[in-house]
Structure 1
Amino acid sequence: MRHLFADLSAFRRDPLGFMREKGNGTDEPLVKLALGPQPVYLVNSPELVKPVLNHTEDAIDKGKYIKKLKPAFGNSFLLMSGKESKRRREVVHATLGRSTVLEQVPAMAATIRQLAGALALEEQFNVHKVTGPLTLRLISVALFGHQVLSPADELALLRAVHLIEHELEEDMFRIWPRGPKSWLRRRRKYAEAHRIMGLVVKRVRENAGSSSVLTSLEEMGLSDNDIRDEILTMLLAGHHTTASAAVWVLYYLTTQAGLADRIARECAVVTDDSGDIVAADLKNAPVSMALAREVLRLYPSAWWFSRETKKTVEIAGHTLKKGSALIICPWQMQRHPAYWDDPDSFRMDRQFNNKAYIPFGVGPRTCVGMGVALLELQLLALEFASAYHLSAVSETPAPEPRASLTLIPPPIELSLTIRENIAFDEAAA
Structure 2
Amino acid sequence: MKHPFSDVAAFQRDATSLLSRDCRDGEPLKRLHLGLRPVYQVTDPDLVKPILKADETILDKGRMVHKLRSVVGMSSLTISGPENTRRRAAIHEQLRDGLAQHFVPVVTDLYRQVWSRLPEEGVVDAHSFTGPLALRVICSVLFGGGVLTAGDEAALITCVKLVEDDLADSITRVLPALPHRQLAKRRNLRFAMAAMDLVVRRARDNASEQSILRGLRTLGLSDTDLRDEILMLMLAGHHTTGTAGAWILYYLAKDPVLANAVRQEALQACGPDGTLDARRLTRCAVSLNVVKEVLRLYPSSYWFARELKQDHEIAGQPLKRGTSLIISPWQMQRDARFWSDPTEFRLGRDYGGKTYLPFGAGPRACIGIQVAMLELQLLALEFARNMDLEIHSPVPAPLPRPSLTLIPPPILVSGRIHHPHHAREAA
TM-score (norm: length of structure 2): 0.95
| Kept after mapping to 2: 8 A contact 1:241/1:302 | yes
In the other structure, the counterpart of 1:175 is: 174
| Kept after mapping to 1: 8 A contact 2:94/2:210 | no
In the other structure, the counterpart of 1:134 is: 133
In the other structure, the counterpart of 1:107 is: 106
Residue type at the aligned position of 2:95: L
| Structure 1, 156-165 or 260-269: larger mean CA deviation | 156-165
The alignment status of 1:188 with 2:187, answered yes or no, reads yes
| Structure 1, 59-68 or 7-16: larger mean CA deviation | 7-16
Residue type at the aligned position of 1:85: N
| Kept after mapping to 1: 8 A contact 2:100/2:278 | no
- Per the TM alignment, residue 210 of structure 1 is displaced from its structure 2 partner at its CA by 3.6
Q: Deviations over 1:341-385 (max 9, x none)?
A: 000000011010021000011122121101110101100010110
- Per the TM alignment, residue 118 of structure 1 is displaced from its structure 2 partner at its CA by 1.1
CA distance in 1, matches of 2:5, 2:64: 17
- Per the TM alignment, residue 242 of structure 1 is displaced from its structure 2 partner at its CA by 1.2
| Structure 1, 412-421 or 343-352: larger mean CA deviation | 412-421
In the other structure, the counterpart of 1:20 is: 20
- Per the TM alignment, residue 98 of structure 1 is displaced from its structure 2 partner at its CA by 8.3
CA distance in 1, matches of 2:329, 2:18: 13
- Per the TM alignment, residue 311 of structure 1 is displaced from its structure 2 partner at its CA by 0.6
Residue type at the aligned position of 1:5: F
**Misfit runs of 4+, over 4 Å:** 422-425
CA distance in 2, matches of 1:60, 1:110: 43
| Cα distance change, pair 92–339 in 1 and its aligned pair in 2 (3 A) | same
- Per the TM alignment, residue 235 of structure 1 is displaced from its structure 2 partner at its CA by 2.1
| Structure 1, 132-141 or 308-317: larger mean CA deviation | 132-141
Where does 1:46-195 land on structure 2 (aligned, <5 Å)? 46-97=45-96, 100-195=99-194
| Kept after mapping to 2: 8 A contact 1:96/1:368 | no
- Per the TM alignment, residue 208 of structure 1 is displaced from its structure 2 partner at its CA by 1.3
Where does 1:222-237 land on structure 2 (aligned, <5 Å)? 222-237=221-236
| Kept after mapping to 2: 8 A contact 1:92/1:213 | yes
In the other structure, the counterpart of 1:221 is: 220
- Per the TM alignment, residue 193 of structure 1 is displaced from its structure 2 partner at its CA by 1.5
| Cα distance change, pair 239–9 in 1 and its aligned pair in 2 (3 A) | closer
CA distance in 2, matches of 1:423, 1:319: 65
Mark the runs of 5 or more structure 2 residues left unpaired by the alignment.
Answer: none
Q: Deviations over 1:88-120 (max 9, x none)?
A: 011112223485244221111111111000112
Where does 1:14-413 land on structure 2 (aligned, <5 Å)? 14-23=14-23, 25-97=24-96, 100-413=99-412
- Per the TM alignment, residue 72 of structure 1 is displaced from its structure 2 partner at its CA by 2.1
Q: CA RMSD in A?
A: 1.7
- Per the TM alignment, residue 262 of structure 1 is displaced from its structure 2 partner at its CA by 0.2
Mark the runs of 5 or more structure 1 residues left unpaired by the alignment.
Answer: none
**Number of residues paired by the alignment?**
424
Q: Deviations over 1:374-424 (max 9, x none)?
A: 101100010110111100122222111111111111121110112122699
| Structure 1, 37-46 or 228-237: larger mean CA deviation | 228-237
Secondary structure in 2 aligned to 1:319?
Answer: strand
| Cα distance change, pair 126–203 in 1 and its aligned pair in 2 (3 A) | farther
| Cα distance change, pair 56–306 in 1 and its aligned pair in 2 (3 A) | same
CA distance in 1, matches of 2:175, 2:209: 47
Residue type at the aligned position of 1:317: G
Secondary structure in 1 aligned to 2:286?
Answer: helix
TM-score (norm: length of structure 1): 0.95
Identity in percent: 46
| Cα distance change, pair 32–97 in 1 and its aligned pair in 2 (3 A) | farther
Secondary structure in 1 aligned to 2:22?
Answer: helix
- Per the TM alignment, residue 252 of structure 1 is displaced from its structure 2 partner at its CA by 0.6
- Per the TM alignment, residue 326 of structure 1 is displaced from its structure 2 partner at its CA by 0.5
| Kept after mapping to 1: 8 A contact 2:269/2:280 | yes
| Structure 1, 351-360 or 149-158: larger mean CA deviation | 149-158
